Structure 1
């Protein structure tokens, strides 16, 4: 009797299939999309955000709401559907059938959600259509100022040497299992030969507080939070997760400069639509969103929020979705990560 396929083999097969998905097919969405109405929009446009009011995705969505309203001649309403790391909002977007609903999504909702939880009620590659990648940002590898075995003024190389010596007596914090901070640190572990233990927290603020209290030895934090603590003299920045230096923190080296080879990771946010939205409506929205993102006023606002502006085409976002799904999916398979 033949043996059933090993779970890792099934995951590897899934990743191979994802790598072969055509970005253009992702942009086109489902074949069932109806023809666009002669006049659109005929009612207010809704932007679903899977995070609470005041969160980074919410602030970004509201930054676009006013200029979108002016361009469309209709009110634009931000609808916060909170929970499950943004997946409740993404599921609501996938099920929207009114032709007047889009969503502001983060990385995971458009890439690895189904890999982390095969029982998820929506499939980001089938049920959502990319509109525009609007902002990207590196994370910052951050550590306490005073750590045993780590020179106070030492280099990033000295930090990694201490981390390797610390082994699993060190720990790192994230906002939860399956987040980019979690998967990204597991990728960092595989590329730098360090082995800290994962400790999940409700959010990044609690992670920073745990480092301040000495419960954690490292964490990947968003720039706004990390730099505030670094400038206040409370935490130490080791390096950026981007491939090179970033204008968001121009004085900080990338981790590749610290000897972590082939390591590049960013968080990002993007607009998506239900796959069933008429293609011509999606095309109009994508063009408007990209134009708004690239305007000087919105570029400045996004930079202040900690984002490097992109304003891509749907094809550009589809390519990013595909690349990140393969990169992060490989870590999920390697580490057997599953959403809790």
Structure 2
């Protein structure tokens, strides 16, 4: 007679038993207590250093976020946590490396484009964000700030945001806007803004946001969506002006800047974000433990403060929360890509 019990592999069984133990974060917090080492059995995972792959250079925003987690993750897991930078293709080279990792000790710090629209922009991207990446936790979100030169032709002095959009409509395709490149959130977001506000500036891509800001200062651009930290530094210096944030309401990252809804642009909500993801082949018990641990660390007071200084409003979501965000943004940005015929260069 055949047994009705499910067959569980030796590897999966070991993982299930080991990962059913207390949270690694709790174990790390209790490690200094007398007798803690004897009371808690060591986890069978991890058995070697955990690697976080980042698709941008050292010192970049994703890199700083990843490194914020290395120390608390290392303490919790009892293994070193290292960051490996695989730069190129807007983070897609790193995302592909994460998707193909099979050592059970590799995860990635992604930006939203890597987990949503990568393959919509370029079908040749070698990984599928939905099939090949397992969401762990949405870490931080940030709106962009619609920014413009302090003075420019056609825009009255001391004009408000509504006046700015009137001038932009009158400017038509004689106006231009800058972004860090085709297919970036700044690009797709501005195309969405064009459709919602009846403006028609021409897109001019640059290597990065600093070059976009410099072009605005030089009068080559009339507008751009910039990250809050960069935009506010220029606004405080009196070199640029903030028109509005792209979130549905005012943001704690830029509390003095009105939302675009206050400027009469309805139904507009656009944010950049970063998140941790794992290969979809990573065993589910490990995914669950890592997700819970990363989320808990993200919401801790110390890490939340560091992320805020980096320009992020902390979330620390569940895998389901991140999956929902991926789905919503893929639908929103994918619709703009299709409507505007945007393709990666």
CA distance in structure 2 between the aligned counterparts of 1:107 and 1:134, rounded to whole angstroms: 11
CA distance in structure 2 between the aligned counterparts of 1:278 and 1:151, rounded to whole angstroms: 60
1:1-340 correspondence runs (5 A)? 35=12, 37=15, 38=18, 39-340=44-345
CA deviation after TM superposition for structure 1 residue 288, in Å: 0.5
CA deviation after TM superposition for structure 1 residue 151, in Å: 1.6
CA distance in structure 2 between the aligned counterparts of 1:254 and 1:65, rounded to whole angstroms: 35
CA distance in structure 1 between the aligned counterparts of 2:190 and 2:286, rounded to whole angstroms: 39
CA distance in structure 2 between the aligned counterparts of 1:122 and 1:256, rounded to whole angstroms: 36
CA distance in structure 1 between the aligned counterparts of 2:129 and 2:63, rounded to whole angstroms: 20
CA deviation after TM superposition for structure 1 residue 111, in Å: 0.2
Q: Which runs of 4+ in 1 moved over 6 A?
A: none
CA distance in structure 1 between the aligned counterparts of 2:157 and 2:249, rounded to whole angstroms: 25
Q: What's the TM-score once normalised by structure 2's chain length? A: 0.88
CA distance in structure 1 between the aligned counterparts of 2:213 and 2:323, rounded to whole angstroms: 33
Write the deviation string for residues 186-220 of structure 1: whole angstroms up to 9, x where unpaired.
00000000000000000000000000000000000
Write the deviation string for residues 82-118 of structure 1: whole angstroms up to 9, x where unpaired.
0000000000000100000000000100000000001
CA deviation after TM superposition for structure 1 residue 152, in Å: 2.2
Q: Which has the higher contact order (CA 8 A, sep 6+)?
A: 1
CA distance in structure 2 between the aligned counterparts of 1:320 and 1:49, rounded to whole angstroms: 20
CA distance in structure 2 between the aligned counterparts of 1:103 and 1:120, rounded to whole angstroms: 17
CA distance in structure 2 between the aligned counterparts of 1:252 and 1:213, rounded to whole angstroms: 23
3-state SS in 1 of match to 2:96: helix
Write the deviation string for residues 310-330 of structure 1: whole angstroms up to 9, x where unpaired.
000000000000000000000
CA distance in structure 2 between the aligned counterparts of 1:191 and 1:263, rounded to whole angstroms: 8
CA deviation after TM superposition for structure 1 residue 251, in Å: 0.9
3-state SS in 2 of match to 1:122: coil
CA distance in structure 2 between the aligned counterparts of 1:110 and 1:305, rounded to whole angstroms: 21
CA distance in structure 2 between the aligned counterparts of 1:133 and 1:258, rounded to whole angstroms: 29
Q: Which runs of 5+ in 2 are unaligned?
A: 1-10, 19-43
CA distance in structure 2 between the aligned counterparts of 1:88 and 1:152, rounded to whole angstroms: 46
In structure 1, the residue matched to 2:3 is none
CA distance in structure 2 between the aligned counterparts of 1:298 and 1:152, rounded to whole angstroms: 42
CA distance in structure 2 between the aligned counterparts of 1:226 and 1:311, rounded to whole angstroms: 25
In structure 2, the residue matched to 1:11 is none
Q: Which runs of 5+ in 1 are unaligned?
A: 1-33
3-state SS in 2 of match to 1:264: coil
